[in-house]
Amino acid sequence: MNFRILAKVLGLLLLLLSVSMASCGIFAKLDSVAGDHEAMVALFTSAAITAFVGTILVLGGLGKIERIPRREGVMIVGLGWVLSSIFGSLPFIICPPHLTWGSAFFETASGITTTGSTVIGDLSQWPRGILLWRSVTQWLGGVGILVLFVAVLSYLGVGTKSLFRNESSFQSGEATTARIRDTALTLWKIYAGLTVICALGLRGMGMTWYHAISHSMTAVSTGGFSPHNASVGFYSAWGNSALIEFWLSLFMLICSLNFLIIAVILSKKWQRIRSEDDAKWFFGICLFVALGIAAGLTLDPRYSVDFWQAFRESWFIVISIASTTGFGTVDYGLWPAWCKALLAILMVIGGCSGSTAGGMKVSRFLVFLKSSAHEVIRAFRPNQVFRLVVNGNPMDDDARARTTSFVALYLLIIALGSVVVGILEAGVGIDLETCLGAVLATLSNIGPGFGALGPTSNFADLREVTQVFLAGLMILGRLELFAILVLFVPAAWKRF
Amino acid sequence: MNFRILAKVLGLLLLLLSVSMASCGIFAKLDSVAGDHEAMVALFTSAAITAFVGTILVLGGLGKIERIPRREGVMIVGLGWVLSSIFGSLPFIICPPHLTWGSAFFETASGITTTGSTVIGDLSQWPRGILLWRSVTQWLGGVGILVLFVAVLSYLGVGTKSLFRNESSFQSGEATTARIRDTALTLWKIYAGLTVICALGLRGMGMTWYHAISHSMTAVSTGGFSPHNASVGFYSAWGNSALIEFWLSLFMLICSLNFLIIAVILSKKWQRIRSEDDAKWFFGICLFVALGIAAGLTLDPRYSVDFWQAFRESWFIVISIASTTGFGTVDYGLWPAWCKALLAILMVIGGCSGSTAGGMKVSRFLVFLKSSAHEVIRAFRPNQVFRLVVNGNPMDDDARARTTSFVALYLLIIALGSVVVGILEAGVGIDLETCLGAVLATLSNIGPGFGALGPTSNFADLREVTQVFLAGLMILGRLELFAILVLFVPAAWKRF
Ligand SMILES: [K+]
Ligand SMILES: [K+]
């Protein structure tokens, strides 16, 4: 392990974090709403502490870095998300009404990982500057995952590598550092552009700049934090609430697609979408589930809604869940069990690789589905040759085994995570649905869960140790398991 | 598709079923307890109908069968279990107090698949002859799965094939028909022997012959039907209840192990158990979970039990669930959520391949665990060569992909099955835990589920269509998915 590289890169990360905090501090300073003095102090203090530690790390790791070896890269990713969550939590700890250390870590990890679960029961008790920082953590988390996708996941494998190979811009041999930087910059531009367009639209629909930008940042990052206690449901009293919901659902949908493909399409190669199984399946599944739930709610005598009202509600919730954003309008906790089970499946699947969405990713789900379908055929045609193609890329047996392994591991972590949550919360009568919902909501970076942790509730009543455990699951899920699991392998830490 | 082969083999199967029914009819005739005249009539009538249809099929398929081709073999297995469940349900339909067609199919499928879920709320309303038939279906189902393991699953693959290869008795080239018959006979002898020993023990502990044989047949088949409403909990008032529970847990445990390995060990090759990862892991997991739950219950202030009482309770329930038997003593529905989540994981894993137990099987779980562990290592050591060995057999990438695919498919079916149960039961306020429990209990051939379908309850309140769906899941799970899924592939039916 080359600790010099680790120190330098992580130090730079903290400096970036510090600048972002200071920017929110400036907003708090300029903001006319009362009570933001405390927010400003908290944000500047946090920025100073973070900058101090970041500077020490950078100085400790001075020197030119030619390239980051694989093992160091994996470690940087895991530690980067953990450190960001620790230092990013300072404003919540310093500013009244104060969060405890564990809760603040949960809230920040929930931001940095674009999860959106919250331990804050009443957001109106917190100054706007802090809530802006809360939204900014999600936006930064979204940038982080896109850069990570380009720079690290490209050689981490599991379904993302093959995607790279097929893009014409990556056809010519190995991806060089310059090429990686260019690609990351392109994706960042798309991300920033989408944020601006979304915010302008929301502003046009009558939101204040503050609310428009807050919701825009957490929509394109599929984060789902809102400065309102009622989330997007706050706007349901407005005359144009349907438009606001549609606008947000549009951006949640776009940002669940592979940003590399968006880049290709933006360069006028429209036909590229045709070979993009991910996007087609993602959209198809969302539409199918939304229509199914709408039909079910219309037919169910306990829900007296007409079909279009039901579809409007189910569409927003389905997109919000499938994109792993977690914005809330209606309380899906009141829907029948089968609707919740469908939402749980969407939570597991998540969005497309290369998006800001979480979950185990559509492409893995496709590999697994196609692989399973073949096994059925092979039961009576044992010698049939099996050629697995996803997004136009053929996969060999090893890649197939790795992907299905990932799917099964993901599901095992959900099951074991539920056990741990149940053990940590033992004695308070937590039910199985709530345990499962808590793990799904955090591991897949959704936000709201089921049962006592449903969309109208929050994670404040959990024990602090449970909150920290769930925060760990957020990071584990956000980094697609391996970058975090590696941290627990002693051999990975060995200096060589 | 060669329909002649299908007709002949399925016809012989029905004749065997008919003989078994008639035997129960003779018991009903000889039994001194009142009201068994109706049972006798029902059983003889059912035997006659079944024998009639079976004879027609056999006549339709006359001629010598050299060998059963793979495709026909798979079809016979799927249809065999379905037909047995249909014809085996006749006694429940004919005999008062009568079950409806759907419920009778559920009850019989639950028997034939050794599941043990029941739609009969009060067993005391049914004559002993019918309840004996109910237990016999499980015992026959256990024979069936052992024969199937030897004769068909050997070339169906997915983890069982490699096991065969390694056994010295199968080393010499291909398994001939004679060898398959010999092996099947050996396993049947072990199975019958275990049944006799178990029954003698129970008789010695004070049960009547009727109850001893009933419980013995459903213990060694890991079926779990009991003629008592309170299941094995009926005996908790007895002074030697601990001994009865231990005796039953011993046979449930043995019958969750690979019968081929039991055969090898019985031929004095004790050292063979050393390379048997399945058995070691199965026992280890059971002991670990039982100790964990016992400790948890002892420490939990809401359960005032001492450790040994708690361990006695948790040991029996854990073995009962892990072996997929489903005998009940205490109501695990009252345990904390994390205990239920652990039991749910045991339900998914199930017993060892080649046993009478259900679930996705320990060996698949091991392949998946080892495969996942390697992926973590490979995140930073991409070029490390991965050699996967389970039960002393190396597995290639294809076998690994197929196994992990199976694991993921199994879990997907659990998720989608829960959705379907929720939809079918919509409008009656069924909760997510109950939906999930119903699918787990049936797909893994456990018996009791969670929530409203827990160990003290039954499946009688479900709609008939839900019961038929769950019966389908039992057969799907019992035949390890593929033999049933194949029935839905049009190409498999094509005559060639
Ligand atoms: K989210
Ligand atoms: K069972």
> With a CB-CB cutoff of 8 Å, which residues 254-313 of chain B face chain A?
296, 300-302
Of all ligands present, the nearest one to the C-alpha of B323 is 2
The answer to whether B442 touches B468, Cβ cutoff 8 Å, is: no
Written as six digits, the tokens of A263 are: 């880049």
* Assigned domain for B313 exists: yes
> At A393, is the secondary structure helix, strand, or coil?
strand
| Mutation target among A79, A375, A384, A410 for the B interface, most CBs of B within 10 A | A375
Chain B nearest C-alpha distance from A381 (Å): 7
User: Cα of A113 to ligand 1 centre, how many Å?
Assistant: 8
Q: Do B422 and A336 touch (CB under 8 A)?
A: yes
**Which residues of B are less than 8 Å from A435 in CB distance?**
337-338, 341
Q: Cβ-count burial of A203 within 10 angstroms (0-12 exposed, 13-18 middle, 19+ buried)?
A: middle
Of all ligands present, the nearest one to the C-alpha of B114 is 2
Q: How far is CA A389 from the centre of its chain?
A: 27
DSSP of A229-285: TTGGGGGGGSTTHHHHHHHHHHHHHHTTS-HHHHHHHHTT-GGGGGG-HHHHHHHHH
Written as six digits, the tokens of B89 are: 């349900």
> With a CB-CB cutoff of 8 Å, which residues 76-115 of chain B face chain A?
none
Nearest to B401 among A400, A432, A434 (CB): A400
Written as six digits, the tokens of A472 are: 């760990």
Q: How far apart are the C-alpha atoms of A295 and B398, rounded to whole Å?
A: 41
User: Cα of B326 to ligand 2 centre, how many Å?
Assistant: 5
Mean pLDDT for A207-220 is 94
- Rounded (to 5) percent helix, strand, coil in chain B: 70, 0, 30
Q: At what angle do helices B70-87 and B36-60 cross, to 10 degrees?
A: 150
Q: How far apart are the C-alpha atoms of A244 and A386, rounded to whole Å?
A: 46
Q: What is the pLDDT of residues A373-418, one digit of tens each?
A: 777 777 666 677 777 777 777 777 777 777 877 887 888 888 889 8
Q: Do B419 and A341 touch (CB under 8 A)?
A: yes
Mean pLDDT for A99-106 is 94
Beta partners for A390?
A393
DSSP of B161-204: HHHHHHSGGG-SSSPPHHHHHHHHHHHHHHHHHHHHHHHHHHHH
B287 vs A277, residue with greater confidence: B287
Q: Do B74 and A379 touch (CB under 8 A)?
A: yes
Written as six digits, the tokens of A178 are: 């310059």
DSSP of A298-343: HH-TT----HHHHHHHHHHHHHHHHTT----SS-GGGS-HHHHHHH
Nearest to A376 among B340, B348, B486 (CB): B486
**Which residues of B are less than 8 Å from A406 in CB distance?**
372, 375
| Mutation target among A152, A293, A402 for the B interface, most CBs of B within 10 A | A402
Report pLDDT for B102. 92
* Distances B21 to A219, A246, B40, B130, B341 between C-alpha atoms, Å: 64, 63, 10, 9, 39
The answer to whether A115 touches A474, Cβ cutoff 8 Å, is: yes
**Which residues of A are less than 8 Å from B156 in CB distance?**
379
Written as six digits, the tokens of B491 are: 């190409």
Within an 8 Å CB–CB cutoff, is residue B490 touching chain A?
A: no
Of all ligands present, the nearest one to the C-alpha of A118 is 1
The answer to whether A128 touches A28, Cβ cutoff 8 Å, is: yes
Question: What is the predicted ipTM?
Answer: 0.78
Can you list the alpha helix ranges (DSSP code H) found in B267-361? 277-299, 307-322, 337-349
* Assigned domain for B469 exists: yes
Nearest to A372 among B155, B405, B418 (CB): B405
Domains of chain B: total: 1
Can you list the alpha helix ranges (DSSP code H) found in A161-222? 161-166, 177-204, 209-220
According to the 3-state scheme, what is the secondary structure of A428-450? CCCCHHHHHHHHHHHHCCCCCCC
496 residues of chain B, pLDDT tens digit each: 678 888 888 999 999 999 999 999 998 888 866 567 888 999 999 999 999 999 999 988 777 776 777 777 778 888 899 999 999 999 999 998 899 999 999 999 999 999 999 999 899 889 999 999 999 999 999 998 888 877 654 554 433 444 444 443 333 344 556 677 788 888 899 999 999 999 999 999 999 999 999 999 999 999 999 999 999 999 988 889 999 999 999 999 999 998 888 888 887 777 767 777 888 899 999 999 999 999 989 988 777 788 999 999 999 999 999 999 999 888 898 888 889 889 999 999 999 988 899 998 898 888 888 888 777 777 666 677 777 777 777 777 777 777 877 887 888 888 889 888 988 887 777 888 888 899 999 999 999 988 888 888 889 889 999 999 999 999 999 888 766 666 666 666 665 4
Within an 8 Å CB–CB cutoff, is residue B237 touching chain A?
A: no
Q: Do A426 and B483 touch (CB under 8 A)?
A: no
Mean pLDDT for A455-459 is 87
End-to-end CA distance of chain A: 6
Can you list the alpha helix ranges (DSSP code H) found in B425-489? 432-443, 464-478, 482-485
Q: Do B341 and A415 touch (CB under 8 A)?
A: yes
Within an 8 Å CB–CB cutoff, is residue B492 touching chain A?
A: yes
* Assigned domain for A419 exists: yes
* Assigned domain for B188 exists: no
B243-264 burial, b if ≥16 CB within 10 A, otherwise e? ebbebbbbbbbbbbbbbbbbbb
Report pLDDT for B491. 62
The answer to whether A379 touches B74, Cβ cutoff 8 Å, is: yes
Share of chain A above pLDDT 70, in %: 89
Q: Do B379 and A485 touch (CB under 8 A)?
A: yes
> At B322, is the secondary structure helix, strand, or coil?
helix
The single-letter code of the amino acid at B181 is R
* Assigned domain for B485 exists: yes
Chain B nearest C-alpha distance from A70 (Å): 6
Written as six digits, the tokens of B309 are: 């009482």
Beta partners for A115?
none
B34 vs A480, residue with greater confidence: A480
Q: Do A435 and B407 touch (CB under 8 A)?
A: no
Phi then psi dihedrals of residue A395, to 5 deg? -120, 140
* Helices (runs of H) and strands (runs of E) counted in chain B: 21, 2
DSSP of B46-88: HHHHHHHHHHHHHHHT-S--S---HHHHHHHHHHHHHHHHHHT
In degrees to the nearest 10, what's the CA dihedral of B362, B363, B369, B374?
Answer: 170
Q: How far apart are the C-alpha atoms of B222 and A439, rounded to whole Å?
A: 32
CA B182-B187-B189 angle, to 5 degrees, is: 95
Length of chain A: 496
> At B325, is the secondary structure helix, strand, or coil?
coil
Q: How confident is the model at residue A156 (pLDDT cuts 50, 70, 90)?
A: very low
Written as six digits, the tokens of A264 are: 């290709």
Chains A, B: CB contacts under 8 A, how many?
A: 218
Beta strands in A351-446 (DSSP E): 388-390, 393-395
CB atoms within 10 A of CB A421: 28
Residue A71 has pLDDT above 80, yes or no: no
Q: How far apart are the C-alpha atoms of A79 and A7, rounded to whole Å?
A: 10
The answer to whether B148 touches B478, Cβ cutoff 8 Å, is: no
The single-letter code of the amino acid at A121 is G
Q: At what angle do helices B432-443 and A432-443 cross, to 10 degrees?
A: 90
Q: Which of B458, B35, B28, B440 is nearest to B225 (CA)?
A: B458
Written as six digits, the tokens of B172 are: 């010499």
Q: At what angle do helices A128-151 and A36-60 cross, to 10 degrees?
A: 30
A234-247 burial, b if ≥16 CB within 10 A, otherwise e? bbeeeeebeebbeb
Length of chain B: 496
* Assigned domain for B419 exists: yes
Report pLDDT for A451. 83
* Assigned domain for A161 exists: no
Q: How far apart are the C-alpha atoms of A423 and A405, rounded to whole Å?
A: 27
Q: Which domain holds residue B417?
A: 273-493
Q: How confident is the model at residue A22 (pLDDT cuts 50, 70, 90)?
A: very high
The answer to whether B142 touches B184, Cβ cutoff 8 Å, is: no
B200 vs A152, residue with greater confidence: B200
* Assigned domain for B300 exists: yes
End-to-end CA distance of chain B: 6
* Helices (runs of H) and strands (runs of E) counted in chain A: 21, 2
